[in-house]
Structure 1
Amino acid sequence: MTEIFLIRHGETAWNAERRLQGHLDIPLNDEGRRQAAALARALAGETVDMIISSDLSRAASTAQAVAELHDLPLQTDASLRERCFGAFEGLLYDELETHFPEAYAQWRARDPDARYPDGERRAETFAEFAQRAVGAVCRIAEMHRGKRIIMVSHGGVLDAVYRAAHGIDITAPRNFDVLNASINHIRWDGERLEVLRWSDNSHLTAALDELGN
């Protein structure tokens, strides 16, 4: 049995303005750094064997804040990256329909096999991405069977993992939260993922209260 604290990175300026990031390496903003520090304090009392993150800086910076309080090295794995959206990356959500009306309609319909126009990189289909994301989490969990892992990744990865754990089709509308720097506790038994706690961000509110804000 492997326990994983699966975390979405802290906020970035592009999150705040609803601009699609994908594989573009966008750093945390001031709020994201505050969230990462609050997350680190919230997880400081947990027994943890390893900390691993996506190699994109918004995830790695969030994970580094946690790693420092646990005095553990940070490992990175590119397979934990967000989905690659091709030419969608860098655009505001509101701009997608104007620039790519057909692809935007496929995106809104959650077409699992649609491949958006290429940008700096070739876009992944939803199906390809979900297979990669869930496969990466399960592979890492299996490699470290019996350990407790903090894993920092991206919203799309958390979405795919939650769906896999609950048997929700990737084409179904999302009816669950995927929040920046929230704590999501899952378990891998060698065959399936189980969600123990999801989208707990009480530590972020507590951190604000401590500062009198």
Structure 2
Amino acid sequence: MAQLTLIRHGETAWSRALRHTGRTDVPLTETGEEQARAAGRLVAGERFGHVFVSPLRRARATAELAGLSDAVAEPDLMEWDYGGYEGLTTSRIRETRPDWSLWRDGVVPGDAEHPGEQLEAVGARADRVLARVRPLLAGDEDVALVAHGHVLRVLTARWLELPPADGRLFWLATAGVCVLGFEREQPVVRGWNQRGA
């Protein structure tokens, strides 16, 4: 049966520093570039009928370095818009909101470039992506998505017919490769957070 492969972008300076990186368009580090190449080695034998990528350059560069140069930009794969928390670490946010959790408490509004997005909106974007890829999978074509940690975690929860907040259960490393598929008609996780050498 066809499968859906997810690839998180490689390391950036902000991801290395644990800063929430939503719509800020930061590049990969040298380590991130090597991670992207390693992810490419993991999927080198796959024949993807379609590849979709977030339009942000860290995801586009990861796709290219992984050998997925025919990727089509999909705006719904952009990362969660963290609003006023853009660029902050969780520990910094917790200086004023001690028990804050992104998955439970969401974000506060930011500036015009980072207005903020609630979990339900991220879930709706994930559902739109899945609605686009399910017919391709039903046609027995493997599909790859190259995007960001939180949006891919939400998408995984929605694949499993779980609420978007259950994305909190699926930790995903930079350049982690995951495979979603089916056991008979049941959506399942077939591989999670694999990393190339």
Is TM (by shorter chain) over 0.5?
A: yes
CA distance in 1, matches of 2:8, 2:192: 11
In structure 1, the partner of 2:144 is: 150
Using the TM superposition, give the Cα deviation of residue 108 of structure 1 relative to its aligned residue in structure 2, in angstroms: 5.1
In structure 2, the partner of 1:210 is: none
- TM-score for the superposition, normalised by structure 2: 0.84
* 1:56 is the counterpart of 2:49: no
**Rg larger for:** 1
**Per residue, is there more helix in 1 or in 2?**
1
Unaligned runs of 5+ in 1: 208-213
CA distance in 1, matches of 2:55, 2:166: 29
Q: Say if 2:126 and 2:155, in contact at 8 Å, map to a contact too.
A: yes
CA distance in 2, matches of 1:192, 1:87: 38
Q: Deviations over 1:138-167 (max 9, x none)?
A: 323325642111210111122112322445
Aligned length in residues: 194
Structure 1 residue identity aligned to 2:135: E
In structure 2, the partner of 1:82 is: 79
- Displaced runs of 4+ in structure 1, greater than 6 A? none
Unaligned runs of 5+ in 2: none
Cα distance, 1:45–1:132 mapped onto 2, change above 3 Å = same
Using the TM superposition, give the Cα deviation of residue 168 of structure 1 relative to its aligned residue in structure 2, in angstroms: 4.2
Cα distance, 1:55–1:91 mapped onto 2, change above 3 Å = same
Cα distance, 1:173–1:3 mapped onto 2, change above 3 Å = closer
* 1:177 is the counterpart of 2:174: no
- TM-score for the superposition, normalised by structure 1: 0.78
Q: Say if 1:36 and 1:66, in contact at 8 Å, map to a contact too.
A: yes
* 1:164 is the counterpart of 2:135: no
In structure 1, the partner of 2:193 is: 199
Q: Say if 1:134 and 1:157, in contact at 8 Å, map to a contact too.
A: no
- Report sequence identity in percent: 28
